[in-house]
Structure 1
Amino acid sequence: MMEGQDLAIDRISDLPDPLLTHILSYIPTEEAVCTCILSKRWIKVWPSLRVLVFDDYIPQSGYLTEGEYRQREAKFLRFLDGVMFNRESTPLDTFKLAWTVNQWNTHILVCRILRCAVMSRPRLLSIHINTDTVFDLPNSIYTCTSIEEMSLWLEPERHDPHNDNFIGLRSINLPFLKKLELGNINLDDNLMRMLLSGCPLLEELVLLGCFLEMNMISFNVLKKLVLNYCCQCSTLLEISCPGVVTLIIRSKGTEGITLKNMSSLATGDFSFEVENEHLSNLRLLGGLSNVTTLNLDIDSENVMDFLLADIPNCPTLKNLKSLELGVLHMMYDYDWNLVACLLQNSTNLKDLTLHFYPIEDDYNAFRYECLEVVKLSFPGKTVKLVNELVRDREDVEGTASVEITAKIIILECEGEDQGSSSAMVPTAERT
């Protein structure tokens, strides 16, 4: 090659179309479509995209004027319509739509776009719509046999018990669906029955902010169940899923939950954050017989009262290796009764993490022999607590006593005397 000759070579354009479309699937769809201006070679590339992601979601606190909303939406609609009806008939792998609907008549176009997407037989379908207009999604969404993962989010929240099925569901036939995520949607027993019969391979169910008008969640093949900040209408929700391996429940208010037939449960993560005067019952411990990892976060006195009443149902936790408890209060004996119950029933426990409220002058201590690692997380001064955790002492009246000889790891510590704690802990390693 002669000196000074232009060495620039367009190697990317020489790649085959399938490889180019695969590369474009990793960038936003809007940018992928814009590659058509590069050269004639690229004009025929983007229509074969198998991953389409459209995101025009604007939070309600988006601070746009009505005119700005309309202008933005009109531009987004033109782009969305142009892409969907000018692409090739290539089957889709992924279709994601996040859209803030501001005009009352645009829901018609939403359904049109979604029908077009379903006709392309996607493997993953995600719909996140923010609208004040109540409308039904096309039923073809729930009968698309190619879908393996689905996410439906409708905002703002519409916890209206008189609205039977806000998503307009009439039937379900999703024979290959393995993961389903629903956000801010009303769910009743009838819908759960349709899910059970129409999704025979469903392994993961995630409910976020949903309104639960049901008495039972029962799946035999489900492996993971997540209930995040859902509202209950019934007085007691029974969860009976013998195949579930992971169960996550986070609640700011619940009527009652009971676990039954949870023989495969290995990981339990439970969080109850505030006082709930409507709580009628809570039976968790009986469903934990085979857990290996347990996180129990209780920031509510009445929730703790129900758990204390549930102690007689606590089985031997022979498989439990890692236990995380919070938020504990050093002044309340009932905290330690629950801790003692779990420790006494956990004969093979190796890793214990405790999260505390700020420490007061009056507190109790416990000791345990078999642990390998103890993690402590709490604000305030730590030395006094650490010394009590590892020092031999007589039982505090009304409180169980076990001896800790494990390595103690302080996750958080604030206070003037934390620097001297290392020398004051003779039986534990301070890290």
Structure 2
Amino acid sequence: MGATKPYKLSVSQELLDWIDNRVKTARIIPDVAHEPGQEWADGTPSSVMTELVDYWKEKFDWRAVEKKINENFKMFTMDIKEGEEVITLHFVHHRSEREGALPLLVSHGWPGNFLEVENLLKLTDPEDPQAQAYHIVAPSIPGFTLSSSPSKPDFSIAKIAATYHKLMQGLGYTHYVAQGGDWGSFISRSIALQFPDACIGVHLNFMIGLPPSAIRYPFKIFSLLVRWFTAEEKKKLARMQWWMKSESGYSRIQGTKPQTISYGLLDSPIGMLAWIREKLESLAEPDYVWDPEVVITWTILYLLSGSAWHARIYKVGINNLGKEVLSKTIATQVPLGYSSFPLDVGYIPQWWAVASVAENIVFWKEHAKGGHFASVECPEALIEDIQEFVRILREKGGSAKWEAALKAGANGNY
């Protein structure tokens, strides 16, 4: 395992000029006329793309954004060997100055990135002096944005989880809490499954699971077969089914021919912009307004990777997800907490989750508002849930693991 190296984002002028030239010469193809309310039915509307591209041409300043990222995020890299691969893992690492701070590993997904952790960084120094403080570590998935890419097509979720665990060990955080949504939820679950002695708890804001075992849980499988759900559960499950039927085409393409689709996306800033912007629209609350600077910044970060791994994870990840994560239940020794936001697209009821996700669910909260990008859309709600989950860990969890995590936080290498 390599040493921790400070990282500053600095895009070459040559690459920036190439991106700017592609944007300046972009052609926005016309859309067809849609009925009111159906403007997004066929993808990102040309009217939305025109506004974004005009903003990119006339107002967006990458160097100013780059400077802000470098000022707001303490970033590092570490070379980590996992199997035959050596990954130069990019990560955000903010240490708390508070005594008794707890290591917290935050994992993102697609089309998100490490910038999603920004609102959670206040957890290093909460306003309430009695509140739990955290040392926050937020890696970039290998092959995504600023982390290097695996060279072979078998770098599954379990390997990503193992890489993250080695990062935490390399930082001196022998015990820690894991948190994640989207792909980050599966990475966090895999960490809990592979390293239950080190992971003192896992908090998720996205959850799916296989049906309960008919032998172990006959009443639960009966409830599932007859659709014995509450009205709210039916509503959330219907949204997930709608997503899989009407909005998951991107995952089918990325999950079958990731290299082919990536030629187009990585060679066309406007193509990547439209690809990402579409998912942001359907995954968030209708009244949430996406700042064009944020959308363009996320787009450029994916262009910087020069890699098909943003798509390839849907092939290697999904193909191995059943045997690595979904078919296994997190043991009692790793407590689990879950925050459900109504417009997310991964959901199962608590009674189902107990049978197929984790034996020891100690926190479960269903919110009235919020979507897939909780740390961006409704960060205060997510922060409150993380704090409540950790309070329960402190009160009900094993004292030995809790003390080990606090000791790791105090003695971490940084």
**Structure with greater helix share of residues:** 2
The TM-score with structure 2 as length reference comes to 0.26
The TM-score with structure 1 as length reference comes to 0.25
> Highest Rg: 1 or 2?
1
